[in-house]
Structure 1
Amino acid sequence: MAATMSMIFVLITQVMVAMVGFSYGQGLVPGVMIFGDSVVDTGNNNNLYTLVKANFPPYGRDFSNHNPTGRFCNGKLATDFTVENLGFTSYPPAYLTQEAQGKKLLHGANFASASSGYLDRTANLYQAVPLTQQLQYYKEYQSKVVGIAGKAKAAALFGGSIYILSAGSSDYVQNYYINPLLNGAYTPEQFSDLLVHSFNSFVENLYSLGARRIGVTSLPPMGCLPAAITLFGGGSNDCVARLNNDAVAFNNKINAASNAIKKKHSNLKLVVFDIYNPLLDLVKNPAKSGFFESRRACCGTGTIETSLLCNTGAPGTCTNATGYVFWDSFHPSEAANKVLSDALLIQGIDLIS
Structure 2
Amino acid sequence: MMVVIFVAQLLVALVGLSHGQSLVPGVVIFGDSVVDSGNNNNRLTLVKANFPPYGRDFSNQLPTGRFCNGKLATDFTVENLGFTSYPPSYLSKEAQGENLLAGANFASAASGYLDITANLYNSISLTQQLHYYKEYQSKVVAIAGKEVAADLFSGSIYVLSTGNSDYVQNYYINPLLYSVYTPERFADLLVQSFNSFIENLYNLGARRIGVTSLPPMGCLPAAITLFSGGNNNCVARLNNNAITFNKKINAASQVLKKRYSDLKLVIFDIYNPLLELIKNPSNDGFFEARRACCGTGIIETSLLCNSRSIGTCSNASGYVFWDSFHPTEAANQVLADALLLQGIDLIS
* TM-score calculated relative to the size of structure 2: 0.99
Q: Are 1:130 and 2:130 counterparts?
A: no
Shift of 1:13: 2.9
Identity between Structure 1 and Structure 2 (%): 75
Once residues 172 and 279 of structure 2 are traced to their aligned partners in structure 1, the CA distance between those partners, rounded to angstroms, is 24
Distance in 2 separating the partners of 1:238 and 1:175: 22
1:196-275 alignment runs, 5 A limit: 196-275=191-270
* Distance across 1 between alignment mates of 2:231 and 2:28: 39
Quick check: 1:16–1:28 contact (8 Å CA) kept in 2? no
Contact 2:29 2:160 (8 Å CA) reproduced: yes
1:201 Cα deviation from its structure 2 partner: 0.1
**SS at structure 1 position matched to 2:218:** helix
Q: Offset at 1:11?
A: 4.2
Structure 2 equivalent of residue 335 of structure 1: 330
Q: Is the 8 A contact 2:156 2:206 kept in 1?
A: yes
Q: Deviations over 1:281-312 (max 9, x none)?
A: 00000001100000000000000000000001
What residue number does 1:192 align with? Answer: 187
Matches within 5 A, 1:40-59: 40-59=35-54
Q: Which amino acid aligns with 2:6?
A: V
Contact 1:20 1:28 in 2 (8 A): no
What code does the residue aligned with 1:274 have? D
Letter of the structure 2 residue corresponding to residue 204 of structure 1 = E
Query: Per the alignment, do residues 19 and 322 of structure 1 end up closer, same or farther by CA in structure 2, a change over 3 Å counting?
Result: closer
Q: Alpha-carbon deviation of 1:65?
A: 1.1
What is the TM-score with the length of structure 1 in the denominator? 0.97
Q: For the Cα contact (< 8 Å) 1:54–1:72, is it kept in 2? A: yes
Shift of 1:6: 1.3
Unaligned runs of 5+ in 1: none
CA apart distance, 1:184: 0.8
Mapped to 2, the partners of 1:207 and 1:86 lie a distance apart of 22
Secondary structure, aligned partner of 2:88: coil
Question: Counterparts of 2:13 and 2:107 in 1: how far apart (Å)?
Answer: 28
User: Cα–Cα, structure 1 residues 29 and 125, in superposed 2: closer, same or farther, change >3 Å?
Assistant: same
Q: Do the aligned partners of residues 154 and 239 (structure 1) sit closer, same or farther apart at CA in structure 2, a change above 3 Å counting? A: same
Corresponding residue of 1:308: 303
Within 5 Å, which residues of 2 pair with 1:112-127? 112-127=107-122
Cα distance between partner residues in 2 of 1:110 and 1:101: 12
Mapped contact 1:20–1:27 kept (Cα < 8 A): no
Note closer, same or farther for the CA distance 1:20–1:205 as it changes in structure 2 (3 Å cut). Answer: farther
Structure 1 CA distance for aligned equivalents of residues 4 and 35 of structure 2: 26
Alignment of 1:287-326 (within 5 A): 287-326=282-321
Note the C-alpha offset of 1:10. 1.7
- Out of 111, 126, 144, the residue aligned to residue 139 of structure 2 is 144
Q: Give the structure 2 partner of residue 279 of structure 1.
A: 274
Letter in structure 1 aligned against 2:313: C
User: Structure 2 stretches of 5 or more lacking a match?
Assistant: none
- SS where residue 145 of structure 1 aligns? helix
Q: 1:8 to 1:126 in 2, by over 3 A?
A: closer
Q: Distance in 2 between matches of 1:23 and 1:343?
A: 25
Kindly provide the amino acid, as one letter, of the partner of residue 108 in structure 2: S
Distance 2:322 2:15 in 1: 34
User: SS at 1:328's partner residue?
Assistant: coil
- Where 2:237 maps in the other structure, the secondary structure is helix
Q: 1:9 aligns with which of 5, 11, 25?
A: 5
| Residue in 2 that maps onto 1:62 | 57
- 1:96 aligns to what? 91
Q: Report the CA distance between 1:185 and its aligned residue.
A: 0.8
Task: Give 2:17's aligned residue.
Answer: 21
Report the secondary structure of 1:335's partner residue.
Answer: helix
CA contact (8 A) 1:31 1:108 kept: yes
CA RMSD of aligned residues (A): 0.9
Aligned length, in residue pairs: 348
Q: Secondary structure at the match of 2:59?
A: coil
Structure 2 partner of 1:168 = 163
CA shift for structure 1 position 64: 1.2
Aligned to 1:65, the other structure's residue is in SS state helix
Secondary structure, aligned partner of 2:337: helix
Distance 1:67 1:12 in 2: 28
